[in-house]
Chain A
């Protein structure tokens, strides 16, 4: 049989696929599972005018907004959970520098399901009374042809690109997640099916022979993947659930630094623009810190 097509990219090559003005969905939830190494590379490239379409965002959106990469955010939440409000996002919205299109969390999720299923919109009654449809002009009112009742038509997510960070995959683009996973991982798998352009960063590239031994864990088969990238600790300082926990110290420092544009510039200079690539970033974080974050057996 002829050789399979390899889809193994470097972070730099994969980040170059995304152009200014793109509409992207980022994997992860609040301060978990975000493909941070990939986002840092987008920032190093100086990408502009992104639209982020999300469900429950956190430091992913906050750092992109703080680095001036974002024009618009469609989501239900941008916050840092235990670390408080997202300071860059807050500042940018208050200054009118970023447009926000508000959805509720469950409906932001339904938008992705609508894209997965190729549905024209998601119909709902549950937004009546809230100010979401008043300010979100992408939501239109319709009349249910079956019972003449009014409803809101929610546009599908339709991202140009989806980028998620996963435990492992092979160089052909098959992506495996551990069993017994939690919803941030499952929602990322779902998101990966909402677009035809999918970039996956993984903790480790594994041989195809191992993929063939664990086919039931292959939840993003290679025909759905555009590019796969090896990025160990690629979610740091977020957790990758089942693999390593959040770097609480780093995220506390991030939230503090992001409060002020000057100190945030210092943060970007040190952790994003400073390191030449992801390995240099990991060296900066340090072996001891990274080892402390591991969850050995988290996949059990």
Chain B
């Protein structure tokens, strides 16, 4: 049994694993920049592999949008890029090569997607397009890429980002991923087949969405983090902190053993 304390990234990967169910299809796509790669590719990869090693063996992970069920422990790179000969030759169960099929996105094939954002608002709308007025942005970001599809077509979306005050806003400057605009039942009215963001995961805490109001709510805080630290680093103005805040479930010794021994034995994905 591993005795060491889990790192924050191991706590996050475990939280991802706990959110995933058996018989699902999971999807991770492109990441821009080093930090986003860690949050959006490495943490989900370890989380998905942990779930497959424990309670979700029949699920399929689609990595970089094209590699089905790779042997994560044998990853040949650090996922610096979505494509490359080494990635193509990574041992896996299936590959797509034309930018889509056989995944039937619009038939709802994907149960869980992973996304990141520069801004998340109180209804879970996400923004990766610009900061400030769209027509005269203060900061231009990467553009919507596949985020609109993640939020409208996928069963649910796990959003992973750095816990910084400016990332959590009342209203995003551009909706590239639609959450629950104006509250409950809007998604049904918009005719979206996916059910939207289910969890916002940071290096400090996990947020979920209130069943009744669809407002974002603090769900748990990671080991060693205080509610005060969350409050200081979160820009929301609505009442998002429940009376009793639970602690994020840290990996059990067995889960930690699987992460370090079976999923990421070379420490390629998560810094230790």
Contact = CB atoms under 8 A, between A and B. Distances in A.
B143 A76 contact: yes
B94 to A, nearest CB: 14
B168 interface: no
A12 interface: no
Interface in B70-125: 80-85, 88, 96-100, 105-106
The B interface, classified by DSSP as helix, strand, loop or mixed, is loop
Given A81-B81, A130-B151, 15 more contacts: A77-B144, A79-B32, A79-B143, A81-B82, A82-B81, A84-B33, A84-B34, A85-B140, A85-B142, A94-B138, A102-B129, A125-B191, A128-B192, A130-B177, A131-B175
Contacts of B134: 131, 135
A233 interface: no
B143 A187 contact: no
Given A31-B81, A93-B140, A130 B145 contact: no
A131 B176 contact: yes
B143 A78 contact: yes
B83 to A, nearest CB: 5
Given A109-B99, A126-B153, A102 B143 contact: yes
A73 B186 CA distance: 32
Contact of B142 (A78, A103, A180): A78
A207 B203 CA distance: 57
Contacts of B148: 104, 107, 126-127, 130, 132
Contact of B66 (A125, A183, A239, A245): A183
Contact of B80 (A82, A128, A190): A82
B202 to A, nearest CB: 21
A183 B145 contact: no
A123 to B, nearest CB: 11
Contacts of A89: 140
Interface of A: 29-32, 56, 75-86, 89-90, 93-94, 96, 100, 102-107, 109, 125-132, 135, 149, 180-184, 186-187, 190, 239, 241-242, 245-246, 248, 295, 298
Contacts of B268: none
A288 B96 CA distance: 34
Residues of B in contact with A, size category: 35 or more
A80 B32 contact: yes
A148 to B, nearest CB: 12
Contacts of A125: 191-192
B138 A245 contact: no
B139 interface: yes
27 contacts: A75-B143, A77-B30, A81-B31, A81-B82, A82-B33, A83-B33, A89-B140, A93-B130, A93-B137, A103-B144, A104-B145, A104-B147, A105-B145, A107-B149, A125-B192, A128-B152, A128-B190, A129-B175, A129-B186, A130-B178, A135-B174, A149-B191, A181-B97, A186-B97, A239-B83, A241-B85, A298-B85
B239 to A, nearest CB: 25
Contacts of B176: 130-132
B181 interface: yes
Given A29-B83, A184-B83, A129 B192 contact: yes
A187 B30 contact: no
Contact of B175 (A106, A130, A245): A130
What 5 A-B pairs come out closest when comparing CB atoms? Answer: A129-B178, A104-B148, A93-B140, A79-B142, A128-B190
Contact of B32 (A85, A105, A242): A85
Contacts of A182: 66, 83, 88, 97
Contacts of B144: 76-77, 102-105, 130, 132
A18 to B, nearest CB: 24
Contacts of B80: 81-82, 248
A82 B84 CA distance: 13
B136 A241 contact: no
Contacts of A32: 81, 83
A262 to B, nearest CB: 20
Interface string B52-84: 000000000000001000000000000011111
A137 B151 CA distance: 22
B174 A85 contact: no
B187 interface: yes
Contacts of B66: 182-183
B2 interface: no
